[in-house]
Amino acid sequence: MEIIIRKDNRPYWLKKATTRLINVYVDHFLRPQFSNLGKGGAYFKPRYIKIFGTEISIDDYPTLIGSPDAYIQFTAWNVGGWNGEIEIGRYCLITPGVRIMAAKKISIGDSCMIAHGAYISDADWHGIYDRAEPVGKASPVILEDNVWIGDGAVICKGVTIGMNSIIGAGSVVTKDVPSNSVFAGNPAKLVKTIDEKDFNTRANFFSDPKKLAMDFDSLDKHSLKNNTFLGWVMSLIKPSKKN
């Protein structure tokens, strides 16, 4: 099967203008909904990021990727005596379809990556015997630094996932995961351990954010230099394998 990756047909100036508009949207419509949203973020289709509740914070240099068919959803339940809180560290990567829902507290450390469609919750959201009871049982969830959650994984209430660990795609995690481990399956079980050594994390990637921004800008200038406005319009009207 041939895989086609669509090129960016926008001229450089148009991409820069689009980025500015995205930043305006984030500052005026998205940021006020968070208790804190740090500096230096990268946001892709931020209109597909939904926030419910007041105590939701994300530290510096996040990467959030929304999609029209897979919204990112953050929910901190602040109704009926519950005071849910979501706290996410620096350099996080959160991709389309991720849902994070807290009735007590969900803490996510620095440099964590959460893949498409993953679900993290600290509550049952209904009583076991009284199905009309909101929230039900709740217990905090902790993801330590540099945790990687695979596509479609489910992290259940009361779970702590240790530093550097990986959760395989489609896994259901019901018990604590030690540091430097790979867990997979339903229920998730130990697959292998990871060597304890220095990791190249997202924190390393953002170690010099000014240089990183300049490098990306130089790459855009080079890769988009031959694009024209008319060519971009035509790629929208009549897309092909070439565009």
Which of 63-72, 76-85, 191-200 reaches the highest mean pLDDT? 63-72
Answer whether residue 3 shows pLDDT above 60. Answer: no
Domain 39-202 has CATH 2.30.180.10: no
Evaluate whether 118 touches 150 at the Cβ level (below 8 Å).
Answer: yes
Answer whether residue 144 shows pLDDT above 90. Answer: yes
Evaluate whether 94 touches 62 at the Cβ level (below 8 Å).
Answer: yes
Answer whether residue 143 shows pLDDT above 80. Answer: yes
Give the model's confidence band at 164: pLDDT under 50 very low, under 70 low, under 90 confident, else very high: very high
Neighbours of 142 (CB within 10 A): 19
Average pLDDT over residues 77-96: 95
Give the model's confidence band at 243: pLDDT under 50 very low, under 70 low, under 90 confident, else very high: low
- Residue 132 or 230, more confident: 230
Q: Which two tokens stand for residue 165?
A: 């660990």
What percentage of the chain's residues is helix, strand, coil (to nearest 5)?
Answer: 20, 30, 50
Bridge partners, residue 64, by sequence: 43, 94
Q: Which amino acid is at 33?
A: Q
Bridge partners, residue 93, by sequence: 63, 113
Predicted pLDDT of residue 109: 98
State the Cα–Cα distance between residues 72 and 92, nearest whole angstrom.
13
Answer whether residue 216 shows pLDDT above 80. Answer: yes
Compute the CA torsion angle 91, 186, 126, 64 (nearest 10 deg): 20
* pTM, two decimal places: 0.92
Predicted pLDDT of residue 242: 65
Predicted pLDDT of residue 1: 47
Per DSSP, the residues of 176-224 read -B-SSEEEETTTTEEEEE---S----HHHHTSSHHHHHHHHHHHHHHHT
Predicted pLDDT of residue 133: 85
Give the model's confidence band at 4: pLDDT under 50 very low, under 70 low, under 90 confident, else very high: low
Predicted pLDDT of residue 81: 87
Domain(s) labelled CATH 2.160.10.10 in the chain stretch across: 39-202
What digits encode the pLDDT tens for the residues 132-141?
888 989 999 9
- Residue 8 or 116, more confident: 116
Predicted pLDDT of residue 5: 61
Neighbours of 11 (CB within 10 A): 18
Average pLDDT over residues 169-187: 97
State the Cα–Cα distance between residues 216 and 204, nearest whole angstrom.
16
